[in-house]
Amino acid sequence: MIIIGEKLNGSIPSMGKAIAARDEARIKDLARKQTEAGANFLDVCASVTPDVEVETLKWMLDLVQGEVDTPICLDSPSPETLVKALPLCNKPGIINSISGEGNKIDLIFPLIADTKWGCIALLCDDRGIPQSVEQRMETFAMIMKRAEEFHIEPSRLYIDPLVVTLSSNESALTAFAECTRQVKAQYPDIHITSGASNVSFGLPVRKLINMSFMILAMGAGMDSAIVDPTNRDMLGIIYAANALLENDEYCLEYIGAYRDGVIGPPLEERKK
Given a contact cutoff of 8 angstroms between Cβ atoms, the answer to whether 209 and 200 are in contact is yes
Nearer to ligand THG among residue 43 and residue 248 (C-beta)? 43
178 binds ligand THG, rule: CB under 6 A:
no
Measured from each CB, the residue nearest to ligand THG is 195
Q: Is 262 in the site for ligand THG (CB under 6 A)?
A: no
Smallest distance, ligand THG to C-beta of residue 7, A: 6
Q: Which span (29-37, 194-202, 237-245, 260-268) binds ligand THG, by CB under 6 A?
A: 194-202
Region of 98-106, 128-136, 181-189, 192-200 interacting with ligand THG (CB under 6 A): 192-200
Helices 50-67 & 24-36, crossing angle to 10 degrees? 60
Choose, by CB under 6 A, the member of 195, 221, 229, 236 that binds ligand THG.
Answer: 195
Q: Does 56 bind ligand THG (CB under 6 A)?
A: no
Whole-angstrom distance, CA of residue 7 vs CA of residue 125: 27
Closest CA to 198 of 238, 237, 223, 161: 161
Binding map of ligand THG across residues 2-31, x = CB under 6 A, - = no contact: ----xx-x--x-------------------
User: Is 4 exposed, middle or buried (CB count within 10 Å of its CB: 0-12, 13-18, 19+)?
Assistant: buried
CB of 250 to ligand THG, least distance (A): 28
Q: How far is the CB of 207 from ligand THG (least distance, A)?
A: 7
Least Å from the CB of residue 222 to ligand THG: 12
According to the binding rule CB under 6 A, does residue 236 interact with ligand THG? no
Instruction: Considering only residues 66 through 105, tell me which ones interact with ligand THG, judged by CB under 6 A.
Output: 75, 96-97
d(CA 239, CA 252): 10
Distance of alpha carbon 153 from alpha carbon 171, whole angstroms: 30
What is the Cα–Cα distance from 204 to 61, expressed in whole angstroms? 35
Q: Which residues contact 257 (CB under 8 A, 6 or more apart)?
A: 38, 235, 236, 239, 263
CA distances from 99 to 66, 125, 259 (A): 31, 6, 40
Question: One symbol per residue from 132 to 171: x for binding ligand THG (CB under 6 A), - otherwise; what is it?
Answer: ----------------------------x--x--------
Report how many residues bind ligand THG under the rule CB under 6 A: 18
Q: Which of 35, 65, 180, 194 binds ligand THG (CB under 6 A)?
A: 194
Between residues 101 and 251, which has the closer beta carbon with respect to ligand THG?
A: 101
Q: Where do contacts with ligand THG occur on this chain (CB under 6 A)?
A: 6-7, 9, 12, 75, 96-97, 120, 160, 163, 194-195, 197-198, 226, 228, 231, 234
